[in-house]
């Protein structure tokens, strides 16, 4: 695989497990951490169109399979990708900015409406891709516009309406690598905004296994149902799937969160999810849909 010259980091056969919250998975054929948007654009323009490209954020909502990822994995990490600025009632954030940092910036600027981002363990790029949300709010409620680069390295601009957002879904092409987003909230007392963020943070700490090796919400909520309740009623809360030690399981604290309590493999974790999907379908007649993204080759 011939790769273009870059200013950022380009690592061959780089293990991806350390870049994910589950701490599992094989290596990327190549991992590219671009220095900035120009570096990324130049790379994409020169890269052979036949080479697969996969974007990895902070790895909070993804399973990297044990066989690794073909082609180039792009990770938008570092200060150039994480800038957050406020002006008036708007917040502009880089795709590599943590959702929680955007929430904190909105509080500091006295902008209400983005507090829910304090409860999402990911980056703005991922939030744009899946219309991330929690506690009754979604990205579509506050997003104004975003821009990114397509597979050819050309800039594309999207207004909110262009995304075609529905629940955890966007109609935007999957090959767009988001670079920056602009949000609009409502002017408010910074202390009031911070108090809401503190409430969300406290609630999350009490109800989610955030200090475990986890991937966040495993399944989307089917219409008229709560995934956690379906998993719970099927008897999977806290139940190990693998016979040997280190197997994956659903958390005792929140039954829609899978965790890696020991040395589970990606196959253990994905296999658990598929077993639960089949069991819930048989017992409740409801098809659970993955919210966690699974990427790469099975070993």
What would the pLDDT profile of 244-297 be if each residue is shown by its tens digit? 556 899 999 999 999 999 889 999 999 999 999 999 999 999 999 999 999 999
The whole-number pLDDT of residue 239 equals 85
Tell me the catalytic residues: 168, 217, 291
Cβ 4 vs Cβ 49: under 8 Å? no
Quote the pLDDT of residue 262: 85
pLDDT number for residue 263:
86
Q: 13 — alpha (psi -120 to 50), left (phi > 0) or beta?
A: left
pLDDT of residue 240: 75
Tell me, what's the pLDDT at 254? 96
Asked whether 70 and 52 are in contact (CB, 8 A), the reply is yes
Q: Name, in order, each residue with C-beta under 8 angstroms of 163's C-beta and a sequence gap of 6 or more.
A: 128, 131, 140, 143, 170, 171, 172
- The residue ranges of the chain whose pLDDT is under 50 are none
For residue 294 the two structure tokens come to: 């699974």
Distance separating alpha carbons of residues 132 and 116, to the nearest angstrom: 10
Dist. CA 55–CA 177, nearest whole Å: 7
pLDDT at 62: 97
pLDDT score of 188: 98
Backbone angles phi, psi at 149, to 5 degrees: -120, 135
CB–CB of 288/221 below 8 Å? no
pLDDT of residue 246: 63
What integer pLDDT is reported at residue 173 of this predicted model? 97
């Amino acid at each position: 695989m011939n790769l273009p010259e870059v200013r950022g980091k380009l690592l061959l056969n780089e293990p991806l497990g350390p870049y994910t919250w589950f701490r599992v998975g094989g290596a990327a054929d190549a991992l590219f951490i671009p220095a900035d948007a120009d570096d990324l654009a130049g790379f994409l323009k020169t890269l052979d169109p036949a080479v697969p490209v996969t974007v990895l954020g902070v790895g909070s909502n993804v399973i990297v399979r044990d066989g690794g990822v073909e082609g180039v994995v792009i990770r938008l990490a570092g200060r150039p990708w994480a800038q957050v600025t406020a002006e008036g009632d708007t917040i502009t954030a880089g795709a590599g900015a943590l959702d929680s940092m955007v929430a904190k910036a909105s509080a500091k600027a006295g902008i209400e409406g983005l507090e829910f981002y304090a409860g999402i363990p990911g980056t703005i790029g991922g939030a744009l891709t899946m219309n991330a949300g929690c506690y009754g709010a979604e990205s579509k409620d506050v997003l104004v516009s975003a821009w990114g680069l397509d597979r050819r390295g050309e800039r594309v601009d999207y207004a909110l309406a262009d995304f075609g957002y529905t629940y955890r879904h966007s109609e935007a092409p999957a090959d767009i690598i988001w670079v920056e987003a602009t949000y609009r909230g409502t002017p408010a007392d910074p202390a009031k905004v911070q108090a809401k963020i503190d409430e969300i943070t406290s609630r999350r700490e009490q109800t989610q296994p955030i200090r475990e090796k986890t991937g966040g919400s495993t399944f989307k909520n089917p219409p008229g149902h709560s995934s956690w309740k379906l998993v719970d009623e099927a008897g999977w809360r806290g139940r190990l799937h693998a016979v040997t030690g280190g197997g994956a399981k659903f958390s005792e604290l929140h039954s829609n969160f899978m965790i890696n309590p020991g040395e589970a493999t990606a196959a253990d974790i994905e296999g658990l999810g598929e077993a639960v999907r089949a069991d819930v379908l048989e017992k409740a007649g409801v098809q659970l849909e993955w919210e966690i993204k699974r990427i790469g080759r099975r070993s």
